[in-house]
Amino acid sequence: MKAYRVTHRATGLSHQVEAPSAQEACECVGWMIGECHVKEERLAPEPTERHRRAAEAAALVLRHIIQEESDPAILGLIGALARDLARTCREKQSGGHPPCGDGVA
């Protein structure tokens, strides 16, 4: 599977999808190949043991800060950061591209 950025020529609406070919990437979002511009994108590499250890260390530091912190504003910022990190991790784990049919605008 390859990752593609598919953009509708008339509307500018764009999706990222994984598909075997550019034509199938267009079809995944319901467009004909002539209706869209297709750009192949690079998939993210598989995480290594070093990446896993770095993520565990970051989580440990955040847990320690949360246990020691009492300011609601700071706890709110930490919560927002944790949600953003979780979203980024999910994107990275999926190669940054949803599979065909699950494209996002």
- Residues 54, 86, single domain; the answer is yes
Structure tokens of 11?
Answer: 């509307």
Q: Is residue 100 part of a domain?
A: no
Residues 7 and 26 both lie in one domain: yes
Is 28 a domain residue? yes
Specify the number of domains making up the chain. 2
Question: Each residue's pLDDT tens digit in the chain (105 positions)?
Answer: 889 999 999 999 999 898 999 999 999 999 999 999 999 998 767 778 888 888 888 888 888 888 887 888 888 888 888 888 778 777 776 655 555 544 444
Element holding 27 (H helix, E strand):
helix 22-28
- Domain of residue 13 covers 2-41
